[in-house]
C-alpha cells in the first residue's frame, strides 16, 4: 500500500492530485496551512475511493512543521510518495520594482525552502541509504520558470526556476538509492489562484497565446503527476515535464 503526501492538497491542483491518487490505490495525506474544512473535504473524497486519508496542518517553510507532517503520515505506513505542491505568489501581481521584500521572502520560504525541507525529510525516509525501501518525489514547478512572468510575478517565476534546479540536482544524488525525483511544470491552469490575486480574467487574457487555445484543468496536471509517481516512469528521474498546452 503506497502512502502519498501532497502539500497544499486542499484545493486546486493539489486536491485534484489527492483524488486521482486515491482512485489509483494511494492512501493520502492532505497537507494544508489555512482553513481545515477544505482539507477535510478532500480527505473525505479520498476515503470515498476506499483509501485512508489524513488532513494535516503544516507550514512547509517551518522545519518543525514538516517533521510533524511526515511523522503524522507514518501512522498510515512508510511514506513512499511525495508531491510538493504548496506554493504562493504573494497574490498581488506587479513589477519587481514595486514588490515589498517581505512578500518576496515569504514566496521563497514557501516555494523553495518548503520544497527543500519536504524533499529532505522524504529522502531520509525513502532512500535505501537511510534504510528505506525507495520512493518517488514530484515537485510542482511552473512554465513561469521559463517565461519569467514579467509584469506579474517575476519573484514567483524565479522560485520555480529554483525548484527545477533542485529537482535535477537531487535526482542525481539519490538515483542510486531507489528514489526518483521529477517535476511537473503547469502552464495556465483553471484554479482559484487567479481570482485570489485579483485577476479573475487572467485565463481569458492568456488563452489566445496558448497553442492549444485554452487553459488547462487541474486533473490534467494530476495525470502527469501520477504517471511520474508510477512504475510506468521507472526510468525517469531529473525530468521537468511541461504541461502547458504548448506554451
For residue 139, the number of C-alpha atoms closer than 13 Å in the C-beta half-sphere is: 36
Active site annotation includes 156: yes
- Residue 175 to residue 135: CA distance in whole angstroms: 11
The Cα-based distances of 33 to 110, 182, 185 in angstroms read 11, 24, 22
Residue 14: Cβ within 10 Å count: 28
Residue 184: Cβ within 10 Å count: 26
- 26, 99, 156, 206: which is the annotated catalytic residue? 156
The Cα-based distances of 102 to 85, 111, 154, 178, 212 in angstroms read 22, 14, 15, 38, 37
Q: Which helix (H) or strand (E) holds 13?
A: helix 12-23
Q: 37 Cβ partners below 8 Å, 6+ apart? A: none
Considering only CA atoms, which of 36, 183, 164, 180 is closest in space to residue 112? 164
Return the SS3 of 197: coil
The Cα-based distances of 32 to 8, 160, 175, 177 in angstroms read 5, 20, 29, 29
What does residue 168 show for φ and ψ, rounded to 5 degrees?
-65, -45
Active site amino acids? 156
Amino acid at each position: 500500500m503506497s502512502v502519498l503526501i501532497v502539500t497544499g492538497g486542499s484545493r486546486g491542483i493539489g486536491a485534484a492530485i489527492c483524488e486521482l491518487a486515491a482512485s489509483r490505490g494511494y492512501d493520502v495525506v492532505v497537507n494544508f496551512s489555512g482553513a481545515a474544512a477544505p482539507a477535510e473535504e478532500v480527505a473525505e473524497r479520498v476515503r470515498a475511493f476506499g483509501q485512508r486519508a489524513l488532513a494535516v496542518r503544516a507550514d512547509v517553510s517551518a522545519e518543525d512543521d514538516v517533521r510533524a507532517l511526515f511523522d503524522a503520515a507514518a501512522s498510515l505506513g512508510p511514506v513512499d510518495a511525495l508531491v510538493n505542491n504548496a506554493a504562493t505568489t504573494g497574490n498581488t501581481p506587479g513589477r519587481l520594482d514595486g514588490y515589498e521584500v517581505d512578500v518576496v521572502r515569504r514566496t521563497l520560504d514557501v516555494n523553495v525552502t518548503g520544497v527543500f525541507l519536504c524533499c529532505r525529510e522524504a529522502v531520509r525516509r525513502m532512500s535505501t541509504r537511510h534504510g528505506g525501501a525507495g520512493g518517488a518525489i514530484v515537485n510542482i514547478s511552473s512554465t513561469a520558470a521559463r517565461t519569467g512572468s514579467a509584469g506579474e510575478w517575476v519573484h514567483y517565476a524565479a522560485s520555480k526556476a529554483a525548484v527545477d534546479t533542485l529537482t535535477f540536482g537531487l535526482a542525481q544524488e539519490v538515483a542510486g538509492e531507489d528514489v526518483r525525483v521529477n517535476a511537473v511544470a503547469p502552464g495556465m491552469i483553471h484554479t482559484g489562484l487567479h481570482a485570489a490575486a485579483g485577476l479573475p480574467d487572467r485565463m481569458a487574457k492568456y488563452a489566445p497565446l496558448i497553442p492549444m487555445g485554452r487553459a488547462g484543468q487541474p486533473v490534467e496536471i494530476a495525470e502527469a503527476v501520477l504517471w511520474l509517481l508510477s512504475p510506468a516512469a521507472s526510468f525517469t528521474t531529473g525530468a521537468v515535464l511541461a504541461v502547458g498546452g504548448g506554451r
